[in-house]
Structure 1
Amino acid sequence: MKSVLDKWWIGWAAAVAVVLCSFLWLWLRPPATEPDRQRDYLASSVCLLTGADGVRGTQATPVWAGMQHASQATLVKVSHVAISGDETVDNAATFLAGMAQGRCDLLLAVGEVPTQAVLSTAAKFPGTRFVVVGVPGAGPVRAVGGDAAAVRELVEQFADGQ
């Protein structure tokens, strides 16, 4: 009878050890890592100045789409700012100055008021490249067509030639 009890305790102890080891393995194992969602962007950035409609405006939508596609291909940072308040050239120039001084290496403008602000103010910011969309440029301001493909090509060239 003693030999049967000895075997029963050995089996029971083995079962407890397996359960305990399984629990410890599940509890102490390192967590599963998720795929890295972080994108390592380039140091330079491209910004879009729009009218009050923002990137939902009819002229700005394809420009923003082209900028986003170029960002995915080149990892250049893109952002946009819509003019708020009065849609005047002076007010737009305030937004433009903030963008040029703060974070934008290439600044695109789309729409009548943002474009006029760029054409009248760009010379004050020699460290920033300016592009107007859909209208002729002048002086230090370059012009590009208003379709997504043209804007994408422009931003990709910028990213390549930093």
Structure 2
Amino acid sequence: MAGGAIAVAAVGVGWLLWPSPSGRTLPPARARVYTEFSACLLSDSSGVSGKAAAPVWAGMQEASATTAGKVSFLAVAGPESESNARLYLNALVARRCDLILAAGTAEVAAVRARAPALGSTTFVVVGTGSSAGNLTVLPVAPPAGVSAAIRDVVVAASERTSPH
């Protein structure tokens, strides 16, 4: 029985390694090479399709296409509260995201509360209020304006963080 399995495996390997008669080659791999920079979005339970997060995510994706920085998101599950959002925010901090963005009422509140204690991380929220220290507040605008502002902030942060 083992001899038959070895024979089948040998035939399969030979078939895979046999040159193609037409001279065709496989297309190049489409793997994307990223820089070390990472921007992470903390969103409400709607994820990146929610009203608050969608324009932020769009801007992050545009920035990633420009800079090759990694972008990701983490949606808060469970109660829509600042204390619950803090748990998810702590996960993004543990991931060592270079830039953490927040979209959603509880998520923005969690970032505002924790940012002063997390001085080595840069935070961005969309809302009202003023920027301070490592927290940048972008004013609420039409979705296209939010996306463009987020793109610019993420690109600038990537350029500051990534080695040249």
TM-score interval, smaller chain = 0.7 to 0.9
Assess if the C-alpha contact under 8 Å between 1:145 and 1:151 holds in 2: no
- Structure 2's unaligned 5+ residue stretches are 1-16, 141-145
* Displacement after TM superposition at 1:74 (Å): 0.5
CA-to-partner distance for each residue in 1:94-143, whole Å, 9 max, x for gaps? 10011012131100011111000000011222221011113324433111
* Farther off after superposition, 98-107 or 138-147: 138-147
Q: Which residue of the other structure, out of 75, 79, 82, is the alignment partner of 1:86?
A: 79
**1:105 counterpart residue number:** 98
* Displacement after TM superposition at 1:31 (Å): 6.5
- Structure 1's unaligned 5+ residue stretches are 1-25
Q: Which residue of the other structure, out of 107, 112, 119, is the alignment partner of 2:112?
A: 119
Indicate the percent of aligned positions where both proteins have the same amino acid.
39
RMSD: 1.9
**2:121 counterpart residue number:** 128
Tell me the TM-score normalised to structure 2 length.
Answer: 0.77
Corresponding pairs, count: 137
* AA of the residue aligned to 2:79: D
Assess if the C-alpha contact under 8 Å between 1:131 and 1:137 holds in 2: no
Partner Cα distance (1:83, 1:137) in 2: 25
Partner Cα distance (1:27, 1:101) in 2: 48
Greater Rg by CA:
1
**2:3 counterpart residue number:** none
* Farther off after superposition, 29-38 or 48-57: 29-38
**1:37 counterpart residue number:** 30
* Displacement after TM superposition at 1:35 (Å): 2.2
CA shift in 2, pair 1:96/1:137, >3 Å: farther
Matches within 5 A, 1:5-154: 27-28=18-19, 32-140=25-133, 141-146=135-140, 147-154=146-153
Tell me the TM-score normalised to structure 1 length.
Answer: 0.77
